[in-house]
Amino acid sequence: MSTPAAPDRFDKVRDAMLAFRDAREWKQFHDPKNLAEGLAIEAGELLEAFLWKTTEECRRVQDDPRAVAKIREELADCFLFCVLMADACDIDLISAAHDKIEMNAQKYPVDLAKGRRDKYDAL
């Protein structure tokens, strides 16, 4: 079985999330401020999965099925809040992501940034 193309997969997830929201009549609560707060909370819960771990332990997190399950769940929550925020602000999330990659490519040219962790203004 072939995997649907990425845009088709995104559209299906977005449509499912919006249908979930709409069936519960939650759109009335989904203003940009509340969605941004929800996203920040979920990002904090994602970060919690790494609390008190060393950098090396974090690099091996995939070896712990419980940690992977937690990270997977929190990443999904973050992603779904992004989908809801994009809908609330009428932003094409895929287009915005492509635009941001291009902006980052301009700020971090390979010849200056390769192998470096410096911010663009320090390259």
Is residue 39 included in any domain, yes or no?
yes
Same structural domain for residues 56 and 115?
no
pTM for the model stands at: 0.87
Total H helices, total E strands in the chain: 6, 0
CATH number of the domain encompassing residue 59? 1.10.287.1080
Instruction: Express each pLDDT in 2-33 by its tens digit.
Output: 555 666 999 999 999 999 999 999 999 999 99
Q: Which of 38, 49, 45, 40 is nearest to 84 (CA)?
A: 38
Question: Given pLDDT bands bounded at 50, 70 and 90, which one contains residue 120?
Answer: confident
How many separate domains does the chain show?
A: 2
Same structural domain for residues 16 and 71?
yes
Same structural domain for residues 84 and 119?
no
Rounded Cα distance, 121 and 123, in Å: 6
Domain residues for the domain of 111 are 92-123
